[in-house]
């Protein structure tokens, strides 16, 4: 009889390379495997489980709404959608929201809005609009979004790709200034790059970019799918520099760890380019997603999770930077969004993740050189101390 891993290898596409752990249950900051071993989840499903596994309030909201009304499409009004979107708007300071499902859908929605805004409001000639993006970006896996990536593995043999994108170095406001021209519709940027290896730009970068966009009538679009909703110590990562973008994308944590829920939020002038029939999604904004998303936003504020991430993140970064190992090249991050870059001359980041799993910590590498540490925001200082000790042990054993 095939094991679970063998069965998955036989029937599932090989587009992932999971660690050889079969998880069966999760609660709070912990998950359990088939034999019953417990692990501290230091990845949170790329920030989708920011509230921890099976949060009782979110589970209650999910169950109650599922028992009443789950999916009817946007062909009809439902009582939950408007309160959900209004709460998201009030929390982010933007005027209108368009709910979708995955983060990639939210980014695609933002790109469509930016292009239509360029033609109908800014006056760019039809089919000539340009959107500026950054090297090292990760905005999703659609044809358009991998097309604007600088990572060859994401795009190999998937072309041809849509035109109209200009890529510049990340963290270089001067490069943005040089790339802007009369055809530029928007600048799409991650306040902190996640998939690239938790890359924090120089202080003042995002603020300078916002000023350039404002001066040239270019939309500033911030992808906050991983960094948003408290992860970096503020509700939005762009708030660290007092920046109010023209549009933001939320996802992952918005679904409370239960459902794919995302949203594009923007200024009214930008969002009103959409008219009936111009964009849509069968599942986007469904009552079940809206109920869970609304409860997640309330939890974020009521449990002060952004403030908690700021305090614990500063403490955790300090402890990690004190770990002694010649294989650590850098420890960087903000809040509970942290990366440990290692010297891969002797072992890979995946090797280290395997060793951490043997110590009861689950996380994943990125680009084989960076360990990603992004635990649920409900984690305690005691649990972070335990994790830091295990990380130190793993480096000693590998070295």
How crowded is residue 342: how many other Cβ atoms within 10 Å of its Cβ? 24
Percent of the chain residues past pLDDT 90, beyond the cut: 97
Of the candidates 267, 302, 337, which is a domain's last residue?
302
Are residues 135 and 271 both part of a single domain? yes
Q: Is the pLDDT of residue 169 over 80?
A: yes
Q: Which of 4, 5, 20 is nearest to 354 (CA)?
A: 20
348-361 residue pLDDT tens:
999 999 999 999 99
Q: Is 252 a catalytic residue?
A: yes
Structure tokens at 76: 């009809």
Are residues 187 and 332 both part of a single domain? no
Are residues 169 and 187 both part of a single domain? yes
Look at the chain and report how many structural domains it folds into: 2
251-275 residue pLDDT tens:
999 999 999 999 999 999 999 999 9
Phi, psi at 51, each rounded to 5°? -90, 5
CA pair distance 99, 109, nearest whole angstrom: 9
The pLDDT of residue 324 is 86
Q: 32-36, 85-89, 365-369: which range is least confident on average?
A: 365-369
Are residues 181 and 247 both part of a single domain? yes
Are residues 213 and 345 both part of a single domain? no
Q: Is 187 a catalytic residue?
A: no
| pLDDT-derived band at 368, boundaries 50, 70, 90 | confident
Helix 56-68 to helix 287-302 angle (10° resolution) is 160
Structure tokens at 200: 């924090």
Calculated CA dihedral for residues 79, 83, 84, 89, nearest 10 degrees: 150
What's the mean per-residue pLDDT of the chain? 97
CA pair distance 282, 269, nearest whole angstrom: 25
The pLDDT of residue 286 is 98
User: What residues contact residue 239 under an 8 Å CB cut-off, 6+ apart?
Assistant: none
19-77 residue pLDDT tens:
999 999 999 999 999 999 999 999 999 999 999 999 999 999 999 999 999 999 999 99
Exactly one of 41, 252, 264, 395 is catalytic; name it.
252
Are residues 17 and 71 both part of a single domain? no
Are residues 73 and 163 both part of a single domain? yes
Q: Is the pLDDT of residue 335 over 80?
A: yes
Q: Is 347 a catalytic residue?
A: no
SS (H, E, C) 356-398: HHHCCEECCEECCCEEEECCCCCCCHHHHHHHHHHHHHHHHHH
Exactly one of 138, 187, 283, 337 is catalytic; name it.
138
Are residues 61 and 49 both part of a single domain? no
The pLDDT of residue 355 is 97
The pLDDT of residue 1 is 79
Percent of the chain residues past pLDDT 70, beyond the cut: 100
Which CATH number belongs to the domain containing residue 348 in this structure? Answer: 3.90.1150.10
198-257 residue pLDDT tens:
999 999 999 999 999 999 999 999 999 999 999 999 999 999 999 999 999 999 999 999
281-330 residue pLDDT tens:
999 999 999 999 999 999 999 999 999 999 999 999 999 999 989 999 99
Chain-centroid distance of CA 334 in Å reads: 14
> What count of Cα atoms within 13 Å lies in the side-chain half-sphere of residue 92?
31
Question: Rounded to whole angstroms, what are the CA distances from 119 to 219, 277, 295?
Answer: 13, 18, 37
Are residues 355 and 221 both part of a single domain? no
Are residues 75 and 129 both part of a single domain? yes
95-137 residue pLDDT tens:
999 999 999 999 999 999 999 999 999 999 999 999 999 999 9
User: What residues contact residue 326 under an 8 Å CB cut-off, 6+ apart?
Assistant: 343, 399
CA pair distance 360, 342, nearest whole angstrom: 20
Q: Is the pLDDT of residue 399 over 80?
A: no
Q: Which residue has the tokens 């998939």?
A: 195
Of the candidates 275, 302, 329, which is a domain's last residue?
302
Are residues 80 and 110 both part of a single domain? yes
Of the candidates 243, 271, 302, which is a domain's last residue?
302
Yes or no: say if 243 and 206 are a contact pair by the CB < 8 Å rule.
yes
Q: Which residue has the tokens 């990845």?
A: 43
Calculated CA dihedral for residues 320, 323, 328, 331, nearest 10 degrees: 20
Exactly one of 84, 172, 187, 223 is catalytic; name it.
223
Q: Is the pLDDT of residue 362 over 80?
A: yes
User: What residues contact residue 369 under an 8 Å CB cut-off, 6+ apart?
Assistant: 197, 341, 342, 344, 348, 349
Which CATH number belongs to the domain containing residue 100 in this structure? Answer: 3.40.640.10
Q: Give the global pTM.
A: 0.97
Are residues 104 and 230 both part of a single domain? yes
Query: What is the residue range of 373's domain?
Result: 4-55+306-398
Structure tokens at 342: 């290692």
The pLDDT of residue 233 is 98
CA pair distance 108, 318, nearest whole angstrom: 37
């Amino acid at each position: 009889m095939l094991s679970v891993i063998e069965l998955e290898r036989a029937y599932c596409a090989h587009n992932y390379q999971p660690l050889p752990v079969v998880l069966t249950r999760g609660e709070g900051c912990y998950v359990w495997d088939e034999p019953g071993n417990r692990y501290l989840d230091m990845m949170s499903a790329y920030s989708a489980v920011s509230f921890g596994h099976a949060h009782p309030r979110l589970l209650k909201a999910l169950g109650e709404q599922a028992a009443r009304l789950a999916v009817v499409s946007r062909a009809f009004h439902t009582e939950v959608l408007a309160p959900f979107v209004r709460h998201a708007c009030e929390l982010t300071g933007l005027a209108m929201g368009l709910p979708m499902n995955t983060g990639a859908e939210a980014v695609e929605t933002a790109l469509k809005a930016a292009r239509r805004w360029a033609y109908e409001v800014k006056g760019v000639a039809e089919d000539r609009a340009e959107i500026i993006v950054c090297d090292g970006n990760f905005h999703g896996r659609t044809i358009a979004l991998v097309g604007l990536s600088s990572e060859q593995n994401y795009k190999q043999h998937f072309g041809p790709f849509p035109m109209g994108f200009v890529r510049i170095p990340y963290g270089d406001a001067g490069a943005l200034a040089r790339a802007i021209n009369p055809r530029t519709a928007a600048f799409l940027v991650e306040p902190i790059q996640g998939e690239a290896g938790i890359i924090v730009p120089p202080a003042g970068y995002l603020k300078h970019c916002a000023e350039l966009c404002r001066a040239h009538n270019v939309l500033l679009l911030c992808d906050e799918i991983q960094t948003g909703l408290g992860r970096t110590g503020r509700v939005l990562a762009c708030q660290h520099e007092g920046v109010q973008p023209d549009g933001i994308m939320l996802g992952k944590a918005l679904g409370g760890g239960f459902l794919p829920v995302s949203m594009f939020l923007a200024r009214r002038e930008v969002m009103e380019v959409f008219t009936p029939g111009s964009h849509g999604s069968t599942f986007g904004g469904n009552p079940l997603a809206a109920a869970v998303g609304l409860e997640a936003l309330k939890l974020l504020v009521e449990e002060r999770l952004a403030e908690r991430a700021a305090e614990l993140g500063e403490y955790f970064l300090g402890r990690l930077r004190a770990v002694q190992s010649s294989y650590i090249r850098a420890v960087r991050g903000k809040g509970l969004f942290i990366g440990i870059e290692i010297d891969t001359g002797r072992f890979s980041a995946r090797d280290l993740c395997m060793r951490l799993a043997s110590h009861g910590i689950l996380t994943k590498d990125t680009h084989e050189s960076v360990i990603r540490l992004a635990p649920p925001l409900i984690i305690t200082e005691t649990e972070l101390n335990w994790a830091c000790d295990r990380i130190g042990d793993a480096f000693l054993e590998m070295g």
